């Protein structure tokens, strides 16, 4: 009879350990789901950020997904007939600009940064559609009318 009770006790200890592992797995899955809903893995309330300076308001996603399209919206505070936006070239090493709306009148590399020149800015936002091509932390420096704004983004799988 002693042999039978020993095996039951061993099975019960194993079952208690199994329950503990299952509970930890459920908690991990719930945390992963909550982080996803909040926007830690892409679009969401935690990921959406707004940066502001004297020249413009910039809306962007803080967390980007690799090879997934994202938007950077630039709202000019003072519309001018001729405006330029400068983007740091090191940002372009990890991100490809897919499309710019409205289309710039000209674009050129100038002093280690990309210059996008717009002929008319009547209060409509400038939207940059970007596709991340690298992983990790990335800083974006945007200059509008001499005002520099530094944005921090993180690109993950």
Integer Cα distance of 99 and 2 in angstroms: 76
Half-sphere exposure of 83 (CA within 13 A, CB side): 24
What pLDDT is recorded for position 4? 64
Q: What is the pLDDT of residue 121?
A: 58
This prediction's pTM: 0.76
Q: DSSP assignment, residue 101?
A: E
- Two tokens at 44? 């969401």
Q: For each of the chain's 157 residues, which pLDDT tens digit applies?
A: 555 666 767 788 888 889 999 999 999 999 989 888 887 776 777 888 999 988 889 999 998 888 889 999 999 887 766 788 999 988 988 899 999 998 998 999 888 899 999 876 566 889 999 999 988 999 999 988 888 999 999 988 7
H or E segment to which residue 21 belongs:
helix 2-38
Q: Which two tokens stand for residue 152?
A: 């921090």
Distance in angstroms (rounded) separating the CA atoms of residues 89 and 120: 24
Predicted pLDDT at 77: 82
């Amino acid at each position: 009879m002693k042999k039978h009770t020993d095996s039951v006790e061993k099975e019960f200890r194993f079952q208690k350990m199994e329950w503990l592992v299952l509970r930890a797995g459920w908690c991990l899955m719930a945390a992963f789901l909550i982080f996803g809903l909040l926007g830690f893995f892409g679009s969401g309330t935690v990921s959406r950020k707004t940066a502001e300076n004297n020249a413009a308001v910039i809306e962007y996603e803080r967390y980007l997904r690799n090879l997934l399209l994202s938007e950077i919206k630039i709202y000019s505070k003072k519309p001018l007939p001729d405006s330029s936006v400068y983007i740091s070239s090191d940002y372009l090493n990890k991100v490809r600009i897919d499309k710019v709306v409205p289309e710039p009148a000209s674009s050129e590399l100038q002093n280690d940064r990309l210059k996008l020149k717009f002929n008319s800015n009547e209060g409509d936002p400038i939207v940059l559609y970007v596709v991340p091509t690298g992983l990790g932390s990335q800083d974006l420096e945007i200059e509008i009318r001499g005002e520099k704004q530094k944005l921090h983004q993180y690109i993950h799988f």
